[in-house]
Chain A
Amino acid sequence: GESVGLHLPTLSVQEGDNSIINCAYSNSASDYFIWYKQESGKGPQFIIDIRSNMDKRQGQRVTVLLNKTVKHLSLQIAATQPGDSAVYFCAENYGGSQGNLIFGKGTKLSVKP
């Protein structure tokens, strides 16, 4: 099995509940942020992104909130499903022209049926 989820903070939620996953980013100059989902045995998959000129962006069942004052990013998942079980991590672009991203360590989301 995939060991990427070891040693990570874990969020356990009941199926149907809403989930909130938090991320503190490091660089106040970062202007772009992404949330990725990584299922066991797979590569990270893009979920949603947000630019620093916004404080909220919504997708299908997901919402990302950005608080630049405290350098905080959150991912909200509505009506969490068992298929949402995965490791979620945020990434920031610190302004490098080549699009380099700095990745957070991740949070493991576990959905109980």
Chain B
Amino acid sequence: DVKVTQSSRYLVKRTGEKVFLECVQDMDHENMFWYRQDPGLGLRLIYFSYDVKMKEKGDIPEGYSVSREKKERFSLILESASTNQTSMYLCASSAPRGHYEQYFGPGTRLTVT
């Protein structure tokens, strides 16, 4: 079974802090994604990566950056956390084209105070 793990289930940070959210998948998937999930807004794509050291902006990249130094690991970085970044963050991975099913991690609930 595919396993996608995220470094923290719950995280509380202060405004202005730099925040790292880590995601690791064990299925040798090329594609990895970061989403945030907010009530009434559904899943919104922040960034995705289809290969090591490659990254593409999603629908809401502002205030975020990502890093993909190894195939299995995709990190989301909040350079200077703000209260409007309080959300559930979900990481997902999928195999190359033609296999669109995305496998999700358990999520990280981030609170910025």
Complex Cα–Cα for A3 and B109 (A)? 11
Contact present for A100 and B42 (CB under 8 Å): no
Contact present for A34 and B100 (CB under 8 Å): yes
Chain A interfacial residues counted at CB < 8 A: 29
Which residues of the partner chain A approach B96 to less than 8 Å between Cβ atoms? 99
- Give a binary string over A1-12; 1 marks a CB under 8 Å from any B CB, 0 the rest: 011111110000
> Which segment, of B43-51, B60-68, B70-78, faces chain A?
B43-51
Which residues of the partner chain A approach B50 to less than 8 Å between Cβ atoms? 98
Chain B interfacial residues counted at CB < 8 A: 28
Contact present for B42 and A101 (CB under 8 Å): no
Contact of A34 among B37, B88, B101 (CB under 8 A): B101
Contact present for A99 and B97 (CB under 8 Å): yes
- Give a binary string over B89-112; 1 marks a CB under 8 Å from any A CB, 0 the rest: 010001111011111111100000
Please report which residues of chain A, range 42-88, place their CB below 8 angstroms from some CB of chain B when the two chains form the complex. Answer: 42-46, 49
Contact present for B31 and A44 (CB under 8 Å): no
Which residues of the partner chain B approach A8 to less than 8 Å between Cβ atoms? 40
A interface, CB within 8 angstroms of B: 2-8, 32, 34, 36, 41-46, 49, 89, 91, 93, 97-101, 103-106
Least distance between A8 CB and chain B CB atoms (Å) = 8
Residue B56, interface by CB 8 Å = yes
Complex Cα–Cα for A104 and B44 (A)? 10
Which residues of the partner chain A approach B101 to less than 8 Å between Cβ atoms? 34, 46, 49
